[in-house]
Structure 1
């Protein structure tokens, strides 16, 4: 399988960002949901979702690394997986609980389902919201594993302005997978469908397009080889978009405008 060359992975991007614009976080979240929904539609559970496994390609996220992904049969809701090796900070409770059981080959086994990927996605969104994963502050690995599966250990959800976002986080990080929200439900959640541009993030941007549409257009312009000025302009605007600077797309509508300068 051949994929586009990513500009940067989400993990590296998060490390570089001091703050994340609300619309920017929402846009990437929708990308993640759509990518994972696609593989679930084909009966695949990724099992190792984390920021490093999402590449940013022209402003959109692409899912990679299916090294420990598993194929599910159409008539089953979960599978038993040999030797769980997912990343602890993003590992769902059900995977950890079943690690004590062993298969015929003596390897540990864990029971996973599409809801397992939902937990991992919730951990990624939590990190994009609060700057760390839910259990990242626990340094001892054994203690961390116990905290993830312990229902009496309460996950902190500090108050934020975006109540729909907080609701998504709480529903993704429910320890019981049967009670956890599903990908289809997340795709119809109000948080995904409120598509306003925060004034503080994009200044005087005058457009009715959504964040995804804007990034799609910029991504297409970046791919153009001629004229070169358009490609440079798209890159400049995309950098402004990511940094939270004011954007001005009016020049795109002016015929014959071939020269651009970075503000």
Structure 2
């Protein structure tokens, strides 16, 4: 029984449905009328990969599928999620906490590691392709994912694939191509390409924008991504890049936000977190860490220090010394130093 439409794409619609057992599932209906061979093969590829990844708790589960030639449609019955990461980030904005980012980051890493262990490269990792199911992120949309042959670490494509804000340099430019040659470009995609995309998603979770947000056209983004001289901006202040894009707003509203007298511990980015982003966003694929290496990074494993704990310690010290200094300001400075040193 169909309950409601919950999503749609270019040729597909997704409905929330109720199974005979009373379980809420998602039904994806794809219209293949007029689809070219490549698009159709993409749908079949997704079904095959999801069947291969059945019973993996970090991947969206495909319950059933059918190709109906009478209606020129493909039907896929899958788990139903609450919200994808793209909508969550849009909804939460800069309110998403560092601790939540850490939790989601670890879940994303483990989901991508699960497909890499099966020699599968996703090739289109982006916030919209991580879905919250029962409070945990699961990986979805395997339309352009590819299996890696057992005897190699790369797959070869003749065309660019992916979503520009999250595409790796090697998926955009054939670095070995002869400009004057008539030979088709050869884009070498590897597990490291997925790591780049993960780094872009992490950057967006932290700063509210993908790494190349300053480039306002697709062509400029492509050029910036492949340009080794283009420096990606990082900051220990999560709000710095948001403030850049809000310069056109009235100064009165901006000042009221900046000077409201509150201290938000989630406004600061620790050194380990910045280090993780920098490691993922290296243009040379071989220099990027593997997923298991990222799972061992300090950002995930460093102990979390509470701002309230720092405040209470400072307060007790000042009382002991009979000092009347501003407890809040001293606690803020000390806490920021702790963040920068990587204890969070």
Alpha-carbon shift at residue 161 of structure 1 (Å): 3.5
CA distance in 1, matches of 2:301, 2:202: 16
Equivalent in the alignment of 1:181: 289
The answer to whether the 8 A contact 2:123-2:145 is kept is yes
CA distance in 1, matches of 2:303, 2:111: 19
Structure 2 counterparts to residues 1-263 of structure 1, below 5 A: 1-2=62-63, 3-18=78-93, 19-98=95-174, 109-159=186-236, 160-194=268-302, 196=304, 198=306
CA distance in 1, matches of 2:186, 2:144: 13
TM-score, normalised with respect to structure 2:
0.54
The answer to whether the 8 A contact 1:23-1:195 is kept is no
The answer to whether the 8 A contact 2:235-2:269 is kept is no
- State the Cα deviation string for residues 30-79 of structure 1 (Å, max 9, x = none): 00000000000000000000000000112110000000001001221111
TM-score, normalised with respect to structure 1:
0.70
Structure with the higher strand share, 1 or 2: 2
Range with bigger deviation, 73-82 or 177-186: 73-82
CA distance in 2, matches of 1:21, 1:197: 14
The answer to whether the 8 A contact 1:99-1:108 is kept is no
Which runs of 5 or more structure 1 residues have no equivalent in the other structure? 201-263
The answer to whether the 8 A contact 1:54-1:64 is kept is yes
Range with bigger deviation, 66-75 or 188-197: 188-197
The answer to whether the 8 A contact 2:195-2:280 is kept is yes
Which runs of 5 or more structure 2 residues have no equivalent in the other structure? 1-61, 64-77, 237-267, 309-344
Range with bigger deviation, 24-33 or 158-167: 158-167
CA distance in 2, matches of 1:100, 1:133: 27
CA gap of 1:195–1:35, structure 2 versus 1, over 3 A, is farther
Q: What secondary structure is seen at the aligned counterpart in 2 of 1:192?
A: helix
Q: What secondary structure is seen at the aligned counterpart in 2 of 1:98?
A: coil
CA distance in 1, matches of 2:202, 2:190: 19
Equivalenced residue count is 197
Q: What secondary structure is seen at the aligned counterpart in 2 of 1:56?
A: strand
CA gap of 1:195–1:73, structure 2 versus 1, over 3 A, is farther
